[in-house]
Amino acid sequence: MFEDRTKKRTELGELGEFGLIDYLTRDIVYKNESTIKGVGDDAAVINNANINTLVSTDLLVEGIHFDLSYSPLKHLGYKAAVVNFSDIIAMNGTPRQLVVGIAVSNRYSVEALDELYNGIKLACDKYKVDLVGGDTTSSISGLFISLTIIGEAATEEITYRNGAKEGNLLCVSGNLGGAYMGLLLLEREKEVYKANPASQPELEGYDYILQRQLKPEARIDIIKLLKEKNIKPTSMIDISDGLASEILHICKQSDKGCNLYEEKIPIDATTILLAEEFKIIPTIAALSGGEDYELLFTIEQSDFEIVKSLEDIHIIGHITDKNSGANLITSSGAAIPLKAQGWDALKENE
Amino acid sequence: MFEDRTKKRTELGELGEFGLIDYLTRDIVYKNESTIKGVGDDAAVINNANINTLVSTDLLVEGIHFDLSYSPLKHLGYKAAVVNFSDIIAMNGTPRQLVVGIAVSNRYSVEALDELYNGIKLACDKYKVDLVGGDTTSSISGLFISLTIIGEAATEEITYRNGAKEGNLLCVSGNLGGAYMGLLLLEREKEVYKANPASQPELEGYDYILQRQLKPEARIDIIKLLKEKNIKPTSMIDISDGLASEILHICKQSDKGCNLYEEKIPIDATTILLAEEFKIIPTIAALSGGEDYELLFTIEQSDFEIVKSLEDIHIIGHITDKNSGANLITSSGAAIPLKAQGWDALKENE
């Protein structure tokens, strides 16, 4: 949270672009046989033996997607990479190779960028992804990170957003709303700190909630578990913008409706407590908070018996005819049309 | 060059992120059989039948890599895409799928972004590349473009930077230094315009030079020609940072030296005339100017007879032992060690 001024600072200009790339990628070891050539040529080379290549890209902007006053650079790198991997996992694929573009102003030192890269490399190690290339350049102000993940999946394994069928069960992994409460907590402590820089942030006892915001994980364990149990989701998406927005994506692309049961939405006890403290209805945090990176997916009704026994997977509703619409069925039994009020990068930040 | 104020302006917020993606990608038609799924899911899906996947990424920053006061958005999009494709071509591969990330401030209208995308799509059409996905978000200020190109090549076709052998001939396509002179010309006219906004830019007769800067092409024709003639370069790189810098990359990675003959460097007559007007030695523009996106490559001596007859390919030197160093042999016969003084994003822009 606070910069250690005793740390060594190397100006970016001392290394130059090529020197910086060499420095940042000095200790990368490739983990995938398919990685033929990584950093150091015009392009990375990935050899795929008759399997589908998946590719997804994210662009993260300082002041829009992250706030360095409470997000340490190593956490930021870790999260940026994991969030990018999550897109491949949400296709039921395995993330394999990552390319990273970074634009920074000279306000950043080499050590700061190294911290960012260390976070990215930590995520790559954990998820067995090879960092195979990138581009490093300067910006007029602020930090920009672009990540492109390449993954793979056999044709019959890929899950699209458009495969939900009427009668399918709607499932979600883990619990929701925590990442958003973590963000509110960090923003509150930032305001306290700005008002009184001598104050210490009150973050004790909130480890879990802070981790949900600062160091989320992508649910590769869930897609492995489903494979083990021979269950193939009919559609799948990861929850980046909030449950409501993601359900609407699946409904729209599958040309279906759905009933989502409020009382079935999994919310952690810490999230509920903190939501009450912030005077927020926990269901709203789950529906619209976003950034939980859990998996939302649909399965055949015939898989019900197996799925209901799986830890950390929750059945929260079912797919209906398009004309019924996408509805939240409240605890009192009322049907309310679902609306995407989640984080919308372009609408919120102007 | 000048904004037409009668054009329709739609605020970005009117569409929102998803609406904007739908709008920008509304007329994309996929051209490659390997493109299984493009825009509209967590990741694009590319099916490769036992062939190498190549991947390369670029991050372009307003005020660093481009200046919108003289680079129309459509040209910018075209150039950004072509430059990205050039990295795959420099591996002797074929560019196939592109993902684009864009971060913009609300200073930009939807129409402005559409112009940018039209340029990208024009390049994709010309080079038969499929635009398969991306990310669109907001920035605090300025425009950021990240591009990741996926290409393919058979194992035996790929050319790395490290394959140059002693005695190999050093070749370059097209001519050099033009893009840099185009940049100087545009900057001069910008200064004139700033001093007197009523003045008209004097750009007549400079079409070729301006095109070299604003609308460069990637030399996919050259790699096709070499394949036709059964010539496989032993090493290859594209010229983005200037001839000197690229030759040094090949020498360093191949662990070799070279002799580059000044009088053999191909420079267009317009480049020479304009260099004289700007009091710049044309050789310096070619060595350090950059952005020509021509191909620099090495071939076996046994291919000399075929290559010398090929239009638009020039033999400019040969590879030597590492201990001889990388030298420019001047017209007067003097040997001067080559130095990379090309464009270096991090050193130049602080």
Domain match, A85 and A152 both:
yes
Nearest-neighbour CA in chain B from A279: distance (Å): 28
The yes-or-no verdict on residue B210 having pLDDT over 70 is yes
Same domain for B211 and B236? Answer: yes
**Which pLDDT value is given to residue B21?**
64
Residue A70's alpha-carbon distances to A107, A109, A213, A350, in angstroms, are 17, 18, 11, 22
- Nearest residue to A343 (alpha-carbon basis) of A218, A244, A242, A247: A242
Q: Are residues A151 and A224 in the same domain?
A: no
Q: What is the pTM of this model?
A: 0.88
Option in A56, A137, A158 nearest B345 (CB): A137
Token pair in block for residue A233: 């989701």
**Does residue A327 share a domain with residue A190?**
yes
Question: What is the tally of structural domains in chain B?
Answer: 2
- Two tokens, residue B169: 């001939």
Residue A304: inside a domain: yes
8 Å CB contact of B49 and A50: yes
Which residues of chain A neighbour B162 with C-beta distances below 8 Å? 41
The proportion of chain B whose per-residue pLDDT surpasses 90, expressed as a percent, equals 58
Domain boundary among B129, B157, B185: B157
**pLDDT score, position A17:** 64
Instruction: Identify whether A120 is part of a domain.
Output: yes
The answer to whether residues B223 and B333 belong to one domain is yes
Q: Which chain B residue's Cα is nearest to A132?
A: B55
Q: How far B34 CA lies from chain A's nearest CA (Å)?
A: 9
State the CATH number of the domain containing residue B88: 3.30.1330.10
Set of chain A residues whose Cβ sits within 8 Å of the Cβ of B52 = 36, 45-48
Same domain, A225 and A107: no
CB-closest option in A46, A345, A347 to B53: A46
Task: Report the distance separating Cα B192 and Cα B305, nearest Å.
Answer: 49
CA distance A350 to chain B (A): 6
Q: Do A69 and B25 meet the contact criterion of CB atoms below 8 Å apart?
A: no
Average pLDDT of the segment spanning B131-140: 84
pLDDT band at B130 (very low <50, low <70, confident <90, very high): confident
Taking an 8 Å cut-off on Cβ atoms, the answer to whether A149 and B101 are in contact is no
Residues of B in contact with A90 (CB under 8 A): 42-43
Band of pLDDT at residue B343, cut at 50, 70 and 90:
very low
Residue A97 resides in a domain: yes
The reported pLDDT for the residue numbered B6 is 54
CA angle A326, A329, A331 (to 5 degrees): 165
Residues B230 and B341 in one domain: yes
What integer pLDDT is reported at residue B110 of this predicted model? 83
Is residue B3 in a domain? no
Q: Residue B97: its chain A contacts at CB < 8 A?
A: 55
Per residue in A194-236, pLDDT (tens digit) is 888 888 777 788 999 999 999 999 999 999 999 999 999 999 9
Domain final position from B110, B137, B157: B157
Q: ipTM of this model?
A: 0.85
Tokens describing residue B285? 């523009």
Phi first, then psi: what are they for B259, rounded to 5°? -115, 120
Q: Do B346 and A56 touch (CB under 8 A)?
A: no
What is the domain-level CATH number for residue B194? Answer: 3.90.650.10
Distance from C-alpha of B197 to C-alpha of B193, rounded to nearest angstrom? 5
| CB atoms A146 and B13 under 8 Å | no
Q: Which residue has the higher pLDDT, A347 or B204?
A: B204
Same domain membership, residue A153 and residue A186:
no
Q: Which residue of B has its CA nearest to A105?
A: B350
Of the given ranges (B120-124, B255-259, B344-348), which has the lowest mean pLDDT? B344-348
Domain containing residue A216: 169-348
Q: Is pLDDT above 80 for B342?
A: no
Specify whether B238 is located in the same domain as B125.
no
B37-54 pLDDT tens trace: 666 666 677 777 667 888
Last residue of a domain, one of A157, A180, A206: A157
Sequence-distant (6+) residues with CB within 8 A of A110 are: A9, A10, A11, A12, A14, A15, A20, A23
What pLDDT shows up at residue A230? 96
Q: Span B243-249, mean pLDDT?
A: 94
Of B335 and B69, the structure prediction assigns the larger pLDDT to B335
From the first residue on, what is the mean pLDDT of each consecutive set of 10 residues in chain A (350 residues)? 56 71 72 68 70 88 88 94 95 91 86 89 91 84 92 88 96 97 92 85 86 96 97 96 94 96 97 94 93 97 96 97 96 90 42
What average pLDDT does chain B have?
87
Whether B184 and B322 share a structural domain:
yes
Name the closest residue on chain A to residue B21, using Cα atoms: A346
List the single residue in A with minimal CA-CA distance to B90: A42
Q: What is the pLDDT of residues B5-24, one digit of tens each?
A: 456 777 767 776 667 667 76
CB spacing of B155 vs A103 below 8 angstroms: no
Select from B199, B205, B162, B154 the least CA-distant residue to B182. Answer: B205
Q: Is residue A324 part of a domain?
A: yes
Residue A49 shares a structural domain with residue A119: yes
Domain assignment of residue A5, yes or no: no
What average pLDDT score do residues B69-96 get? Answer: 93
User: Tell me, what's the pLDDT at A41?
Assistant: 64
Nearest CA in chain B to A58: B135
Residues A39 and A117 in one domain: yes
Per residue in B157-194, pLDDT tens?
889 899 999 999 999 999 999 999 999 999 998 888 88
B45, B149, B161 ranked by CB distance to A52: nearest: B45
- Does B151 map to a domain? yes
Is B25 among the domain residues? yes
CB < 8 Å to B43, chain A: 54-56, 87-88, 90-91, 93, 149, 151
